[in-house]
Amino acid sequence: MSAEILDGKWVREQILAELRPRIDKLSAKHRPPGLAVILAGHDPASEIYVRNKIKTCGELGIYSEKITPPDTTSTEDLLGIIEGLNQRNEIDGILVQSPLPKQVDKRRILLGVKPDKDVDGFHPLNVGSLVADIPAPRPCTPAGIMELLRRYKIPITGKNAVVVGRSDIVGKPMALLLLHQSATVTICHSRTSNLADECRRADILVAAIGRPAFLTREFIKSGATVIDVGQNRGLGGKGLVGDVEAEAAKELAAAYTPVPGGVGPLTIAMLMANTVHAAEQHLCCA
């Protein structure tokens, strides 16, 4: 029996279809949801990500702005831009695209965005809400993975989940979201002893370590659900390669996310969902 492919594009289309009537309702009664994206510098990958975010806003009827300060911008200049957006009622969400230029203090920028406009879910107040399982914007990639698991009806309660990677963007919030659904969660990373042994215990294995094809067949338990968050360049810079060896996932897993086409499409979908929810929160009292 071959592994089930968990199609992120299918889930993305479901999420976006569910958002459209909510956006139409807001537009008819008040105004469209509004998203501002700040792109400092000229990182090629960031430029592609931002273009796709703006494009999706246009397709859904979300108002969007792209602000492009130069790569010489200072922390104070960026904070000034953010504060201006914080004060604008028609902007519901503010996204500061990473990576930032090296001279910019990332922590101060993170704190500069108002928590109710933090559609990335990275502000410490929203991280605290995630820890306490209180409603707040959730980081987009982990939230998208939870939607994928839910819509494919993959059981989480009581399952052993192993998250490989401890980043603030994916690894840590992923572990908390799984924990809130009553999984038994282990967080692993590059310094974990016996990493393959830990991974082989996983009913749900989430690979977010940023190393191409690093998790080979000895890391995968037969019948596991494998979620590959990796977006690595292949040999010679061609194509995308996940953190999991693709053939091993196909042969051993019960279900897995391909790269590309698995987790990738979900991140922007959840950014849109967070923006629409922020608009609903702002306009319910307008």
pLDDT tens per residue across span 200-228? 999 999 999 999 999 999 999 999 999 99
pLDDT tens per residue across span 214-271? 999 999 999 999 999 998 987 666 788 999 999 999 999 999 999 999 999 999 999 9
Set 53, 159, 172, 221: catalytic member = 53
- For residue 23, name the pLDDT band (cuts at 50, 70, 90): very high
Residue 73: per-residue pLDDT = 96
97 is an active site residue: yes
Mean pLDDT of all residues in the chain?
96
Set 92, 117, 118, 120: catalytic member = 120
- For residue 286, name the pLDDT band (cuts at 50, 70, 90): low
Q: Which domains does the chain have, with CATH numbers?
A: 31-116 (3.40.50.10860), 140-265 (3.40.50.720)
66 is an active site residue: no
Q: What is the DSSP string of the chain?
A: -PPEE--HHHHHHHHHHHHHHHHHHHHHHT---EEEEE--S--HHHHHHHHHHHHHHHHHT-EEEEE---TT--HHHHHHHHHHHHH-TT--EEEEPSSPPTTS-HHHHHHHS-GGGBTTS-SHHHHHHHHHT-SS---HHHHHHHHHHHHTT---TT-EEEEE---TTTHHHHHHHHHHTT-EEEEE-TT-TTHHHHHTT-SEEEE-S--TT-B-GGG--TT-EEEE---EE-GGG-SEE-SB-HHHHHHH-SEE--TTTSSHHHHHHHHHHHHHHHHHHHHTT-
Set 92, 97, 159, 228: catalytic member = 97
